[in-house]
Amino acid sequence: MKKINSGGFVLAETLVVTVFLMTIFSMLYYYFYPLIGEYEKREVYDDVDDKYSAFWIKKIIEDSQYVVDSDSVKGRNFEKYGYFRFECKEISSESDKKQMCKNLVNALQVDNCDPDGNNCSIYVTSYRIGFGANRPAQMMRDFKTTVSMTGDQALIRAQEDCDKTNLNECINDFVTNCKEKSMLPVEKAEVECSKEANKKIFPTRTRDYVELLPDYKTKSRNGAFYRIIVVFHHVQASNNYYSYATIEVNV
Amino acid sequence: MKKLNNKGITTVEVIVCFVLIVTITTALYNTVSAFNEKRILEQNKEAVYTYKNLLTKDIQEDFIKIGIVSASTKTNISPDGSKVIDSVECIMKDGTKRQLLIIRQYAKSPEHPGGSTTEDDYYMIEYGTPDNDFIDINQNPLPTNSNVMEYPIPKLGSTKYEGRVVQDLSIRNVKTKVTNNNVLDVYIGFYHPELTTRYGVQIISPINYVSSTNEITERWELYSH
């Protein structure tokens, strides 16, 4: 009769199995933990407060007293990069609505707003934000493409406040102009103005949100051609976090 | 015939197995209990979110569909400081009234050393159309009003402190403000030992906003559709 192998596992066998199991568990850990982070990140996307906040901004944009000239820097920025920033100064007259706009964006804690309700992180885009190959001829980039640019290309985003075509010149001009206006000593002004220039560039958190949004390929059921994407910076009650909302605009 | 190995398990083998099982169980226990804590935390978050969604929707629906003409805010603090009632009174465009009451009764606890030694923690938000006039928050006890709906905050556990019940979820930061008579800004902040002050209800609305929509057609020509 054949002799039964009763030697048990050799060290090599045990090691192979251990390494195999370790690999499986490491992979599980590697893929599972980012999912938790992703879920926590999405908690601040389009929650009820932010959706209503975006609604009130949409109402101001839909108001006929809010006018954007297609031949302005904003208009050109829209054509080239698929967006422009909403600012309260675009409300046509020194009406109550302008004052209300300032108070509203500050109460809503819209990110990056100055006390006059300008330079806010409220991006007006076309209803469809990702065009791919179907981009309209006059549009250089759609919003999703603009937001996802990195490196030197990112500087292009700061062009909104500048008419120049040379991007570096545009950024330098912004910093120089900012420094001239600043009452700070030169070294501090340099730092502060560079910070200001950087604020104009989309941070990673904003890029994450925009990339997660659908392209909105199908037409709006309400006939909307535009949308807004709003970034909020919550600082009250010792908080410090950013949240996002988007809503279509019927103009 | 081959003789079978019937020596059984040695003490060393048993000890090694035992140590292995204990190690694995301990590791698993820590992992499972961490996940369980996470589950409870998420459950609490969900309760706060559901509450916040319901309340915000009910109030904002009125503000959007009807609109506010004027708004004012009041606060009443009891002499010992343990009870605070905030009230937001709104006159709507259709002539009706809306009142939002935020009632906080703090029991004495390490979080609120100045709290009441005779009353338990009590938190309530009330919102609706008061019967005739606005509810006078200076009255004690507060009069009941059938048209004002109660929104009790979620119960996420409680502890006893010096004989009084202290809720884990409480209302802590309340802001009721009317800016330049054109923006109503209400923030009701929650506090929970694990969720901290991260969650709250934010209700912001323009006051007496009349939308101008006459020239809306083709106002923008930024993008040829």
Question: B223 to chain A: which residues are within 8 Å by CB?
Answer: 78-79, 126, 136, 138-139, 225-226
Mean pLDDT confidence for A6-12: 72
Distance from the Cα of residue B73 to its chain's centroid = 20
Question: A47 to chain B: which residues are within 8 Å by CB?
Answer: 49
Distance from the Cα of residue A85 to its chain's centroid = 11
Assess if residue B178 is contained within a domain. Answer: yes
Q: What's the pLDDT score for residue A152?
A: 43
Assess if residue B8 is contained within a domain. Answer: no
List residues of chain A with CB under 8 Å from any CB of chain B: 1, 3-4, 6, 43, 47-49, 52-53, 55-56, 59, 62-65, 67-68, 70, 75, 78-79, 96-97, 99-100, 103-104, 107-108, 126, 136, 138-139, 225-226, 236-239, 241, 250-251
Which amino acid does the sequence have at A200?
A: K
Who wins on pLDDT, A31 or B22? B22
Q: Is the pLDDT of residue A157 over 50?
A: no
Reported pTM = 0.82
Q: Do B127 and B151 touch, CB atoms closer than 8 A?
A: yes
Question: B179 to chain A: which residues are within 8 Å by CB?
Answer: 103, 107
Q: Do A52 and B204 touch (CB under 8 A)?
A: yes
3-state helix, strand, coil in chain B (%, to 5): 25, 35, 40
Give the CA count within 13 Å in the CB-facing half-sphere of B90.
33
C-alpha to C-alpha distance for B115 and A78, rounded to whole angstroms: 56
B10 CB within 8 Å of a chain A CB:
no
Q: What's the pLDDT score for residue B28?
A: 87
Q: Do B204 and A56 touch (CB under 8 A)?
A: yes
Question: B213 to chain A: which residues are within 8 Å by CB?
Answer: 62-64
Q: Is the pLDDT of residue A197 over 60?
A: no
Domain containing B102: what range? 31-206
Distance from CA of A144 to the nearest CA of B (A): 16
Mean pLDDT confidence for A33-52: 87
Assess if residue B101 is contained within a domain. Answer: yes
Q: What's the pLDDT score for residue A183?
A: 66
Q: Average pLDDT over chain A, rounded to whole?
A: 80
* Closest Cβ opposite residue A103 in set B175, B183, B213: B183
DSSP B165: E
Q: Do B154 and B160 touch, CB atoms closer than 8 A?
A: no
C-alpha to C-alpha distance for B187 and A2, rounded to whole angstroms: 82
Q: What is the CA radius of gyration of chain B?
A: 28
B175 CB within 8 Å of a chain A CB:
yes
Q: Do B189 and A237 touch (CB under 8 A)?
A: yes
Q: What's the pLDDT score for residue A74?
A: 81
Q: Each residue of A211-236: b (16+ CB within 10 Å) or e? A: eebeebeeeeeeebbbbbbbbbebee
Question: B222 to chain A: which residues are within 8 Å by CB?
Answer: 68, 70, 75, 78-79
Bridge partner residues of B125 (DSSP): B102, B151
User: Among candidates B86, B159, B178, B75, which has minimal Cα distance to B125?
Assistant: B86
Place of tokens 């009234």: B97
pLDDT band at A192; cut points 50, 70, 90: low
pLDDT band at A163; cut points 50, 70, 90: very low
Which amino acid does the sequence have at A94?
A: E
Q: What's the pLDDT score for residue A73?
A: 77
Lowest-confidence segment of A14-28, A142-156, A196-210, B76-90 by average pLDDT: A142-156
Who wins on pLDDT, B133 or A109? A109
Edge to edge, the sheet with strand A83-85 lists A83-85, A122-126, A226-234, A241-249
C-alpha to C-alpha distance for A76 and A88, rounded to whole angstroms: 19
Q: Two tokens at A206? A: 């904003």
Q: Do A245 and A46 touch, CB atoms closer than 8 A?
A: yes
Mean pLDDT confidence for A147-157: 54
Q: What's the pLDDT score for residue A92?
A: 80
Helix (H) or strand (E) holding B75: strand B68-77
* Closest Cβ opposite residue A100 in set B209, B219, B220: B209
Distances (CA, A) of B55 to A64, B65, B126, B198: 32, 16, 10, 17
- Sorted by where each begins, the domain ranges of chain A are 45-157+203-249
Bridge partner residues of B37 (DSSP): none
C-alpha to C-alpha distance for B172 and B123, rounded to whole angstroms: 10
Q: Which residues contact B65 (CB under 8 A, 6 or more apart)?
A: none
B132 CB within 8 Å of a chain A CB:
no
Q: What's the pLDDT score for residue B83?
A: 95
pLDDT digits (tens, 9 = 90+) for A237-246: 889 999 999 9
Lowest-confidence segment of A27-31, A156-160, A230-234, B217-221 by average pLDDT: A156-160
C-alpha to C-alpha distance for B129 and B149, rounded to whole angstroms: 9
Q: What's the pLDDT score for residue B208?
A: 93
Q: Two tokens at A42? A: 């999405």
Question: A99 to chain B: which residues are within 8 Å by CB?
Answer: 180, 182
B52, burial (CB in 10 Å: exposed 0-12, middle 13-18, buried 19+): buried
Assess if residue B73 is contained within a domain. Answer: yes
Q: Do A251 and B216 touch (CB under 8 A)?
A: yes
Q: Which residues contact B133 (CB under 8 A, 6 or more apart)?
A: B97
Q: Do A59 and B214 touch (CB under 8 A)?
A: no
* Number of domains, chain B: 1
Give the CA count within 13 Å in the CB-facing half-sphere of A220.
16
Assess if residue B2 is contained within a domain. Answer: no
Q: Pick the residue from chain B with its C-alpha nearest to A47.
A: B53
Helix (H) or strand (E) holding B51: helix B11-65
Assess if residue B201 is contained within a domain. Answer: yes
Q: Two tokens at B146? A: 């059938």
Q: Which residues contact A14 (CB under 8 A, 6 or more apart)?
A: none
Which residues of chain B fall short of a pLDDT of 70? 1-6, 213-225
Q: Pick the residue from chain A with its C-alpha nearest to B1.
A: A1
Q: Is the pLDDT of residue A155 over 60?
A: no
Count of beta carbons in the 10 Å neighbourhood of residue A114:
13
Mutate to test the interface with B, among A25, A35, A53, A64 (most CBs of B within 10 A): A64
Helix (H) or strand (E) holding B123: strand B122-128
Q: Two tokens at B207? A: 């006051």
Give the CA count within 13 Å in the CB-facing half-sphere of B191.
14
Q: What's the pLDDT score for residue A119?
A: 80
Q: What's the pLDDT score for residue B16?
A: 85
Q: Do B49 and A53 touch (CB under 8 A)?
A: no
